[in-house]
Structures are given as structure tokens and as C-alpha cells.
Amino acid sequence: MDVANIEVEAPPSRVWDLVTDIAGYHRFSPENTGGHWTGGEPVTVGATFTGGNRHGMIRWTTHCTVVDVLPGQRFSFQSDEPKARWTYEVQPTETGTRITETREIYGTPAWYVRLIQRSRLIGSDRDALMQQGMHDTLTAMKRYLENRA
């Protein structure tokens, strides 16, 4: 499991709104190009969405299902193709909020995902790239949250 976290000087409610805004996630992630809800009530267990991604010239779509929501505290979804579960936890601190992002592989990725990963078209060390991307995403969120009026 990969884990990254950061503390931000912003209230938990603002952080929650940010980590559950799948359409705007591209503003922070080095690979995500945005997403949109495709079924169910957004930000509830069972809701579905697609997410766009890119790495260099390679672009792909993932199909995701929300699997855990504790309003204002935890948002978790599974991405079908890579069999990855992403979770965002929002915890109040004395000066703001701690954001924790985790990525856990819960199964064997689809055959075509494994093929692309082995080709190195989306990075030679995908796990290291994902860990760095999580750090970069949280750093970009912090910058946005702390510089927003």
C-alpha cells in the first residue's frame, strides 16, 4: 500500500470539497485529466464515475465505484481496470487539516493494463511514479487551499 499525507492550513470542510471533486481533480494530479459521475448520487457508496488520465502521449479512461464514504472524513473508490483502491482521509488538526491519500492494489489488473505497464509506456517504475504522483497531488492541493482567498 502506498501512503502520502500533508497538513494544510484550511478547514476540513474545504478539504473535503476538494478531495471529492472528481471533475476538478486534474488541477492537482500529474496524470488525471478530470472525471465525471456516471451513476448514482455523487459522493455516496455505489456511485460510479469515469476518470481520464494521461502519461506523455498515452491516454486512458478508468471506471470507478465509490466503496466507502464517511462524510467529511473519508472518501474511497475502486478503479476497475488497474484494481486500485484510492482513499482520501480528512482529519482536523490544531492549525487546519491533515490529508492522507492511500493507494492499494486489491486484485490483478486487467490484461491490457498489465501489458501497458510492462511496456514502460507509462513509466519504468509505475509504483514509484504513483508514490511521487500522490506526493505531488497533495502538495498542489496544499498550495491551492492555502493561497485561495
pLDDT value at position 130? Answer: 75
pLDDT tens per residue across span 76-86: 999 988 899 99
Give the pLDDT mean for 53-81: 93
pTM for this model (two decimals): 0.88
pLDDT tens per residue across span 86-138: 999 999 999 999 999 999 999 887 766 667 667 666 656 767 777 888 999 99
pLDDT value at position 78? Answer: 97
User: What's the whole-number average pLDDT of the chain?
Assistant: 90
- Weakest-pLDDT range from 16-25, 51-60, 139-148: 51-60
pLDDT value at position 121? Answer: 60
pLDDT value at position 149? Answer: 45
pLDDT value at position 58? Answer: 82
Q: Of 88, 109, 8, 110, nearest to 43 (Cα)?
A: 88
pLDDT value at position 8? Answer: 97
Q: Of 85, 103, 70, nearest to 4 (Cα)?
A: 103
